[in-house]
């Protein structure tokens, strides 16, 4: 068992662009659940909407080639298209459900997330969405690759070494995370954030004070959804677009990360995301290492790999029961209603 | 009959080994999976025609089966377990034919009409194709499955193996499999209606479990699908791995499911009630439980589709509709059980107490009902019903099981429950039948791989216009 | 509009607040709220059936009645937290039909709740600041730029501090509201309502669950509201309190307005004795058949599972916990 490799792989997760994308989605969910009390179980769908809108726009419209736009403009417009798509998705989800009791939003978001995944997966639209195969990375990464100011071969050190492209995406993704954190911090110390937190505590009370609760919930849903959409873009920039990456499981991992770090805290989602992926890589490495030295008898490597997802599930349960405020949460400011 | 646990364990291990080998499990990539590559389910073949060809209990090797249509023509020969499977990428109508010349001497197809038949992929992703045989020797008894005698038999699963998918999504399970003899539109409608009805009845069993638990405890149990998978897995283990007779396997599965439900309440949900844990917290606990159980199942039975060595019975032609006895048995059992549940809830004292707790648990408690006991019973009953639906479901969709089968129908179960009106058992039944019908009939108009999306869309539309559910009363929304 | 009934009271009583004769549904000299034909039914049971009622401006009006009389439901209807099956009602001459609750509040008609709704995971000060009207920082984009709202926030904080001092909550300023006692939460809720400078304050059982030691100061605060020029309408059970501070009393029973009058004379009204005191004895509940009780529970249950706003509040709160045999659901139970 190569302990150093395991540690190295785990440490690499700390700064990987995918962790950044995941953190961004978790920050979005934090706006939903942590601050506004919205039970969104479809955050993966916001990612899917963002990722597909970005990639499909780039591939189908391809302004760089067809309209002669500069690459930066084409990229920015593609990102804007993704944001608009995420906003539209949030409105579609929110308009029917935000007036209803909270668990209706839960059911509708999880159902809508699956509808999105089935739709992009179906063979009927595979000319656009790539069906179950998804979309190839090279088909939509042209602009962002062309915009890369880094010309060397490798950057970074230790576990955080990557190619010029990796490093470029890493910088972009983490910059976005920092911007999102500042945005959330600014909003949550403002009167707007106060209204949002008030709604989480008791809608009727806030309504009786003359605030349009529906509108605020919608704003929060849109904000968190847009962060999810941007997370989707960042998630697919280092790889291809795969419909099944945006399954319910992804949403559940985002929830786990949020509760791990601490809902309703600014840095909780960031800490939770990093820890989640580091621990997952670490337990994965350890289990497969132990399996290789025969610690589990004739268990196969795949089976050992399943065990860590069992651990994820158990960890989520224990966390919610015994430390619902997460690592960074204030004990007085528990993240759940009783 | 083997009843000790040692042979069972050995059997399970052996079966796992066989399953892995036979299915060509993709083992790589999982341990190395990181955020950078959440592994995903990726089957190139959307639809798989499959079957096992046996003469009585003896598998026939080297029988050639051809699937043709939509520009595809592919031939496969049965392996040493008699299993064959051919995958196709596109939905559509295919001709599946068996080359009688490759059958061993003295064995013939029971009827010439089985030699070449048309199948439409629309309603299922795995299509079991039966070739009923007559052996000249006579004693074989026909059918394709024969008795459950061969044992250790897996291998009907997806060609090339569906890779294990720890992080990834899930495809869809197959569903009811009533076919048609003709391609005429109304015959198809009829066949799909029957399929949908059957599918709906099966889901109703699970949906009633959800709604009873929701009604009495307020918990939306996201781990409910795993109760269904549990039933399927135990049934698979008892019938296929250790070859117990089906009736014994059914009893063992039901007892195990009931015990599993009892453990849920005893080990998790009662302590949570004692701690006064909020409902949202409990909901997330059930999500954690669902993840843990699901991967435990995958750990136990692997990531592929496993076939059950339970015969699907004879093919029955009713007018234009082709079904197997399995379909009819599944539906009948579901109806009987549903009636029994209805009588239980309305006629027995415990049933009435259950409804009282559902209506208002503090009121029920103050009138002397032991709420904890009722909830315990509801968990046991819910798990029993859902485990039972697990048996029927694995049987009904083509005698196979996958580790996440319950999770893939979970949303449809929730859709059923919400459609009928949360907390109402009868509503769950109606909702489930509607979801089943919508799912199957939608394939007449749209791609088959979108059929679950249609059911979920209906759910959202109903919530939009009738948030209280179809049977709920309007007054409920203030 | 309603036919005047004169049973009990002196036939030709008049009162400075009243335009004409004192009677149920009588006209007021200067009404701030006028309701006409407001009916709310829950699954066939009529919870509220108010033909006509006017609330006098600048006075403290008590809305009393036996448990289940429909007082809280009527409150919810007036403030937009529940919708009536039919009827019209207006505030300061403007119709409030189909006006959502937050807009009702913005017009200056602010309410509190029977079960206090202090926002537990916000501090006392944050609770207060939430009450302030027209905050620039409450719009999404302005929230990001602090200079746009800093000055307003500053003045709101000063106002909040002075209100907190008045309600003797200033020492709790930075505490989470969840840590306050029941009575302190009532005070906080009242103080928070005042942050918006309302013209009409509607208090739903301000005394329920309040420590007797705090009662007197609460009464003084309610009186203080009138001195500051506000109109007060409150729901209450406690006749002592009603007598002590109110200028006008409206009595509801079985969803209807059965009597009105000044507090000194209202308890002599035969209709009040029948309806109000009658229900305080067990006789009324005793006459319900089992079937009726079952019906009531059924109707109440319909409200609970999906109950969104007011209906949920309505059915899960107990009007008078001390009342024997009363369940949480008989609010709409009595007909």
- Domain residue ranges of chain A, discontinuous segments joined by +: 17-243
- B304 with B356, same domain? yes
Q: Is B93 helix (H, G, I), strand (E, B) or coil?
A: strand
The reported pLDDT for the residue numbered B123 is 44
Same-domain status, C110 and C252: yes
- pLDDT above 60: residue C334: no
pLDDT digits (tens, 9 = 90+) for B240-258: 888 888 899 999 999 999 9
Q: What are residue A135's phi and psi, to 5 degrees?
A: -115, 145
Of C176, C244, C187, the residue nearest C210 (C-alpha) = C187
Q: Is residue C304 part of a domain?
A: no
Mutation choice for B interface testing from A51, A113, A295, A321 by most B CBs within 10 A: A321
Nearest to A234 by CA among A1, A88, A28, A47: A47
Residue of B nearest to C43 (CA): B475
pLDDT band at B304; cut points 50, 70, 90: confident
Q: Does residue C330 carry a pLDDT above 50?
A: no
Q: For residues A16 and A177, give the distance between their C-alpha atoms in angstroms, rounded to a whole number.
A: 12
Say whether both B29 and B134 belong to one domain.
yes
- B213 & B237 share domain: yes
Burial class (CB in 10 A: 0-12, 13-18, 19+), A267: middle
Of B166-170, B196-200, B260-264, B468-472, the range with the highest mean pLDDT is B260-264
Question: Is C189 contained in some domain?
Answer: no
Instruction: Pick B375 or B60 by higher pLDDT.
Output: B375
Task: Flag whether B47 is in a domain.
Answer: yes
Tally the domains of chain C. 2
Q: Determine the 3-state secondary structure of C105 from DSSP.
A: helix
- CB distance from C154 to chain A under 8 Å? no
Q: C268 and C135: one domain?
A: no
| Cβ pair B33:A300 closer than 8 A | no
Which residue is it, tokens 């082709």? B322
In this structure, the dihedral spanned by the alpha carbons of residues B8, B13, B18 and B19, taken in order and rounded to 10 degrees, is 90
On whether both B156 and B202 belong to a single domain, the answer is: no
pLDDT of residue B377: 93
> In the predicted model, is pLDDT for residue C301 greater than 60?
no
Among A309-323, B142-156, C51-65, C246-260, the least confident range: B142-156
Please report the pLDDT score of residue B60 as a whole number.
Answer: 76
Cα C182 to the center of its chain, rounded Å: 18
Pairwise CA distance, residues B223 & B292, whole Å: 9
Q: How far apart are CA C121 and CA C117, in angstroms?
A: 12
Task: State whether residue C34 is helix, strand or coil.
Answer: strand
Q: What is the pLDDT of residue A306?
A: 80
How far is CA A303 from its chain centroid?
27
> What is the average pLDDT score of chain C?
79
C293/B75: higher pLDDT: B75
Instruction: Determine the distance from the C-alpha atom of residue A28 to the mean position of all C-alpha atoms in its chain, rounded to a whole number.
Output: 8
Q: Provide the token pair at C241.
A: 């309190």
Please report, rounded to a whole number, the percentage of residues in chain A having pLDDT higher than 90.
58
Chain B residues with CB-CB distance to A250 below 8 A: 38, 167
How many interchain CB pairs under 8 A, B with C? 38
- The CATH number of the domain holding residue B102 is 2.60.40.10
**Is residue B164 within 8 Å of residue B25, measured between CB atoms?**
yes
Chains contacting chain B through 3 or more C-beta pairs under 8 A? A, C
Quick: pLDDT tens for B417-444: 888 877 678 888 999 999 999 998 988 8
Q: Quick check: B220 and A22 CB within 8 A?
A: no
B228 and B149 share one domain: no
Instruction: Identify the helix (H) or strand (E) that includes residue B409.
Output: helix B405-420
Domain closes at, from B156, B175, B194 = B175
Same domain as B270, residue B126: no
**Predicted ipTM of the assembly:** 0.88
- Whether C132 and C174 map to the same domain: the answer is yes
Does a structural domain hold residue B180?
Answer: no
User: In chain A, which residue's Cα lies nearest the Cα of C82?
Assistant: A204
Q: B101 and B191 share a domain?
A: no
Q: Are residues B381 and B406 in the same domain?
A: yes
Tell me, what's the pLDDT at B126?
65
Note whether residue C187 is domain-resident: no
Which tokens sit at B15? 């079966």
Residue B167 has pLDDT above 50, yes or no: no
Instruction: List CB contacts (< 8 A) between C301 and chain B.
Output: 359-360
Partners of residue B472 in chain C, C-beta under 8 Å: 306
Q: Residue B431: give the domain boundaries.
A: 185-476
Among B152, B175, B198, the domain boundary falls at B175
SS (H, E, C) C66-84: CCCCCHHHHHHHHCCCCCC
Q: How many residues does chain A have?
A: 338
Looking at the fold, whether C155 and C114 belong to one and the same domain comes out as no
When pLDDT is cut at 50, 70 and 90, the band that residue B56 belongs to is: low
All residues of chain B having their beta carbon less than 8 Å from the beta carbon of residue C40 are none
**CA of B37 vs chain A CAs: smallest distance (Å):** 8
Does C149 contact chain A (CB < 8 Å)? yes
pLDDT band at A90 (very low <50, low <70, confident <90, very high): very high
Same domain, B247 and B126: no
Q: Is residue B17 part of a domain?
A: yes
Q: Are residues B168 and B243 in the same domain?
A: no
Q: Tens digits of per-residue pLDDT, B401-418?
A: 888 889 888 989 988 988
Check if A294 contacts C (Cβ < 8 Å): no
C-alpha dihedral over C5, C7, C10, C16, to 10 degrees? -40
Based on the fold, state whether residues C86 and C152 are members of the same structural domain: no
- CB nearest to C102's CB, from A191, A212, A332: A212
Write phi, then psi, for C114 (nearest 5 degrees): -65, -50
Beta bridge partners of C31: C56
Residue of chain C whose alpha carbon sits nearest to that of B468: C306
B130-B134-B139 Cα angle (round to 5)? 120
> Do C169 and C259 have their domain in common?
no
Of C151, C179, C207, the residue at which a domain comes to its end is C179
User: How far is Cα C225 from Cα C257, in angstroms, rounded to an integer?
Assistant: 25
Residue in B211, B217, B220, B478 to test binding to C, most C beta-carbons within 10 Å: B478
B335 domain residue, yes or no: yes
Between CA A205 and CA A11 the distance in angstroms is 46
Q: From the CB of residue B117, how many other CB atoms can be counted at a distance below 10 Å? A: 18
Nearest to B478 among C297, C308, C327 (CB): C308
DSSP A210: T
Residue A206 sits at the chain B interface (C-beta within 8 Å): no
Considering only residues A274 and B396, tell me which one the structure prediction assigns the higher pLDDT: A274
- For chain C, the 3-state helix, strand and coil shares in percent, each to the nearest 5, are 40, 20, 40
Size of interface A-B (CB pairs under 8 A): 227
Residue C184 lies in a domain: no
Q: Under an 8 A CB cutoff, do C135 and A191 touch? A: yes
In a domain, B9, yes or no: yes
Residue C239 is predicted with a pLDDT of 73
Alpha-carbon distances, residue A106 vs A90, A111, B189, B215 (angstroms)? 13, 9, 34, 17
Residue B83, classed as helix, strand or coil, is: strand
pLDDT category, A101, cuts 50, 70, 90?
Answer: confident
- Helix (H) or strand (E) segment spanning residue C45: strand C45-56
Asked whether residue C265 is domain-assigned, the answer is yes
Asked if the structure places residue C300 within a domain, the reply is no
Q: Report the share of chain A in percent with pLDDT over 70.
A: 97
Is B107 in the same domain as B163? yes
Question: Domain boundary residue among C251, C281, C311?
Answer: C281
Q: What mean pLDDT, rounded, does chain B reach?
A: 74
Flag whether C132 is in a domain.
yes
pLDDT at B6: 41
In a domain, C14, yes or no: no
**C109: phi then psi, degrees, rounded to nearest 5:** -115, 95
| Residue with more model confidence, B259 or A334 | B259
Whether residue C211 is found in the same domain as residue C114:
yes
Angstrom distance (rounded) from CA C203 to CA C233: 6
- Cβ pair A210:C103 closer than 8 A: yes
Say if residue B359 is in the same domain as residue B225.
Answer: yes
The verdict on C201 and C276 lying in the same domain is: yes
Q: How far is CA B12 from CA A21, A161, A304, C57, C136, in A?
A: 41, 44, 17, 82, 67
Q: What is the pLDDT of residue B367?
A: 82
Number of H helices, E strands in chain B: 13, 16
Long-range contacts of A213-220 (CB under 8 A, 24+ apart): A213/C102, A214/A98, A214/A99, A216/A36, A216/A192, A217/A36, A217/A38, A217/A94, A217/A98, A218/A90, A218/A91, A218/A94, A218/A95, A218/A98, A219/C140, A220/A31, A220/A32, A220/A35, A220/A36, A220/A38, A220/A196
- Asked whether the beta carbons of B449 and B46 are under 8 A apart, the reply is yes
Q: Give the contacts of B145 (CB within 8 A, at least 6 positions apart).
A: B52, B54, B309, B310, B311, B312, B313, B399
Residues 78-117 of C with CB under 8 A from B: 82-83
Per the listing, tokens 């039972």 go with B388
Q: Tell me what pLDDT residue A152 has.
A: 84
Range of the domain at C111: 31-118+197-281
Asked if C126's CB is within 8 angstroms of A213's CB, the reply is no
- Asked if residue B68 is part of any domain, the answer here is yes
Of B175, B194, B213, which residue is a domain's last? Answer: B175
More confident residue, A186 or A160: A186
Do C40 and C166 fall within a single domain? no
Count the domains in chain B.
2
Helix/strand/coil for C135? coil
| Cα-Cα end-to-end distance for chain C | 23
Question: Using CB atoms, which residue from A16, A108, A315 is nearest to B35?
Answer: A16
Asked if C31 and C216 count as a contact pair (C-beta separation under 8 A), the reply is no
Confidence class for position B62, pLDDT limits 50, 70, 90: confident
User: Where residue C56 sits, what CATH number does that domain have?
Assistant: 3.40.50.300
Whether residue B165 is contained in a domain is answered as yes
Helices (H) and strands (E) in chain A, counts: 15, 2
């Amino acid at each position: 068992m190569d302990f150093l490799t395991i540690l190295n792989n785990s440490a690499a997760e700390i700064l990987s662009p995918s962790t950044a994308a995941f953190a961004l989605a978790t920050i979005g969910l934090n706006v939903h659940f942590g601050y506004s009390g919205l039970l969104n179980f479809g955050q993966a769908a916001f990612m899917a909407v963002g990722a597909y809108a970005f990639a499909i726009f780039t591939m189908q419209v391809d302004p760089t080639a067809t309209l002669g736009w500069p690459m930066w403009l084409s990229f920015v417009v593609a990102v804007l298209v993704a944001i608009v798509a995420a906003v539209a998705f949030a409105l579609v989800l929110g308009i029917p459900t935000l007036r209803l009791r909270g668990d209706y939003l839960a059911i509708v978001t999880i159902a809508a997330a699956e509808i999105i995944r089935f739709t992009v997966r179906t063979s009927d639209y595979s000319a656009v969405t790539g069906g179950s195969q998804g979309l190839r990375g090279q088909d939509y990464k042209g602009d962002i690759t062309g915009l890369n100011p880094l010309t060397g071969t490798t950057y970074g050190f230790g576990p955080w070494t990557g190619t010029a492209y990796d490093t470029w995406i890493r910088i972009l993704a983490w910059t976005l995370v920092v911007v999102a954190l500042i945005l959330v911090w600014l909003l949550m110390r403002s009167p707007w954030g106060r209204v949002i937190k008030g709604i989480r505590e008791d809608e009727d009370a806030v309504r009786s004070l003359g605030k349009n609760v529906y509108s605020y919930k919608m704003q929060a849903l849109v904000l968190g959804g847009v962060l999810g959409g941007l997370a989707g873009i960042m998630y697919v920039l280092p790889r291809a677009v795969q419909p099944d990456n945006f399954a319910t499981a992804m949403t559940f991992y985002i929830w786990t990360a949020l509760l791990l770090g601490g809902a309703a805290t600014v840095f909780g989602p960031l800490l939770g995301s990093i820890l989640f992926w580091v621990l997952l890589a670490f337990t994965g490495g350890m289990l497969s290492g132990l399996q290789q030295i025969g610690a589990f008898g004739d268990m196969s490597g795949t089976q050992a790999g399943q065990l860590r997802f069992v651990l994820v599930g158990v960890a989520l349960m224990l966390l919610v029961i015994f430390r619902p405020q997460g690592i960074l949460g204030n004990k007085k400011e528990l993240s759940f209603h009783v | 009959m083997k009843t000790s646990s040692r042979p069972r364990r050995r059997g399970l291990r052996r079966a796992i080994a066989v399953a892995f080998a036979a299915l060509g499990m993709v083992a790589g990539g999982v341990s190395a999976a990181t955020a950078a590559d959440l592994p995903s389910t990726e089957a190139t073949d959307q639809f798989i025609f499959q079957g096992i060809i046996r003469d009585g209990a003896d598998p026939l090797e080297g029988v050639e089966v051809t699937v043709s249509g939509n520009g595809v023509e592919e031939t496969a020969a049965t392996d040493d377990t008699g299993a064959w499977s051919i995958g196709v990428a596109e939905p559509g109508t295919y001709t599946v034919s068996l080359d009688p010349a490759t059958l061993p001497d003295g064995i013939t197809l029971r009827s010439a009409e089985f030699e070449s038949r048309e199948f439409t992929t629309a309603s299922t992703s795995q299509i079991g194709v039966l070739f009923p045989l007559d052996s000249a020797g006579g004693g074989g008894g026909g059918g394709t499955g024969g008795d459950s005698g061969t044992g250790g038999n897996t291998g009907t699963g997806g060609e090339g193996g569906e890779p294990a998918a720890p992080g990834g999504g899930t495809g869809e399970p197959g569903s009811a499999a009533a076919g048609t003899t003709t391609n005429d539109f109304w015959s198809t409608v009829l066949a799909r209606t029957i399929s949908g009805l059957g599918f709906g009845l099966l889901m109703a069993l699970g949906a009633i479990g959800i709604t009873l638990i929701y009604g009495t405890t307020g918990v939306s149990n996201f781990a409910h699908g795993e109760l269904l998978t549990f039933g399927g897995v135990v049934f698979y283990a008892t019938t296929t791995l250790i070859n117990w007779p089906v009736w014994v396997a059914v009893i063992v599965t039901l007892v195990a499911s009931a015990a599993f439900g009892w453990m849920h309440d005893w080990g998790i949900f009662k302590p949570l009630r004692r701690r006064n844990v909020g409902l949202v917290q409990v909901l997330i606990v059930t999500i954690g439980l669902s993840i843990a159980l699901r991967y435990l199942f995958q750990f136990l039975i692997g990531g592929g589709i496993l076939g059950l060595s339970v015969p699907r019975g004879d093919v029955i032609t009713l007018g234009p509709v082709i079904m197997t006895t399995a379909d009819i048995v599944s539906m009948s059992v579901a109806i009987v059980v549903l009636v029994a549940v209805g009588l239980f809830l309305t006629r027995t004292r415990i049933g009435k107490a259950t409804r009282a707790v559902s209506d208002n648990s503090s009121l029920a408690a103050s009138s002397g009902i032991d709420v904890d006991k009722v909830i315990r019973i509801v968990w046991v009953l819910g798990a029993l019903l859902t485990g039972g639906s697990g048996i029927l479901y694995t049987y009904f969709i083509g005698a196979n099981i996958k580790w996440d089968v319950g999770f893939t129908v979970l949303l449809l179960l929730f859709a059923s429950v919400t459609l009928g009106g949360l907390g109402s058992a009868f509503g769950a039944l109606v909702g489930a039948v509607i979801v089943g019908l919508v799912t199957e009939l939608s394939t007449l108009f749209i791609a088959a791989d979108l059929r679950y999306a249609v059911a979920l869309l209906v759910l959202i539309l109903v919530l939009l216009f009738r948030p209280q559910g179809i049977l709920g009363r309007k007054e409920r929304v203030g | 509009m309603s036919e005047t009934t004169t049973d009990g009271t002196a036939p030709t009583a008049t009162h400075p607040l009243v335009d004409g004769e004192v009677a149920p549904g009588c006209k007021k000299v200067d009404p701030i709220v006028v309701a006409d034909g407001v009916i709310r039914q829950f699954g066939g049971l009529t919870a509220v059936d108010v033909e006509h009622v006017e609330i006098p401006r600048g006075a403290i009006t008590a809305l009393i009645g036996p448990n289940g009389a429909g007082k809280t439901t009527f409150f919810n209807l007036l403030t937009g937290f529940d919708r009536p099956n039919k009827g019209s009602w207006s505030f300061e001459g403007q119709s409030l039909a189909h006006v959502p609750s937050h807009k009702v509040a913005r017009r200056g008609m602010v309410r509190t709740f029977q079960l206090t709704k202090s926002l537990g995971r916000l501090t006392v000060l944050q609770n207060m600041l939430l009450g302030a009207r027209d905050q620039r920082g409450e719009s999404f984009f302005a929230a990001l730029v602090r200079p746009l709202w800093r000055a307003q926030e500053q003045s709101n904080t000063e106002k909040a501090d002075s209100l907190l001092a008045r309600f003797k909550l200033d020492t709790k300023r930075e505490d989470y509201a969840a840590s306050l006692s029941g009575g302190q939460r009532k005070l906080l809720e009242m103080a928070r309502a005042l942050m918006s400078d309302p013209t009409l304050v509607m208090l739903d059982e301000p005394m329920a669950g309040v420590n007797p030691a705090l009662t007197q100061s609460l009464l003084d605060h309610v009186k203080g509201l009138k001195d500051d020029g506000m109109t007060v309408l409150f729901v209450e059970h406690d006749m002592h309190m009603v007598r002590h501070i109110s200028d006008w009393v409206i009595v509801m029973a079985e969803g209807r307005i059965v009597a009105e009058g000044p507090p000194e004379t209202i308890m002599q009204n035969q209709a009040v004795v029948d309806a109000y005191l009658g229900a305080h004895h067990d006789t009324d509940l005793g006459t319900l058949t089992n079937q009726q009780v079952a019906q009531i529970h059924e109707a109440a249950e319909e409200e609970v599972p999906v109950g969104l706003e007011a209906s949920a509040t309505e059915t899960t709160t107990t009007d008078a916990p001390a009342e024997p045999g009363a369940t949480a659901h008989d609010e709409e139970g009595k007909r």
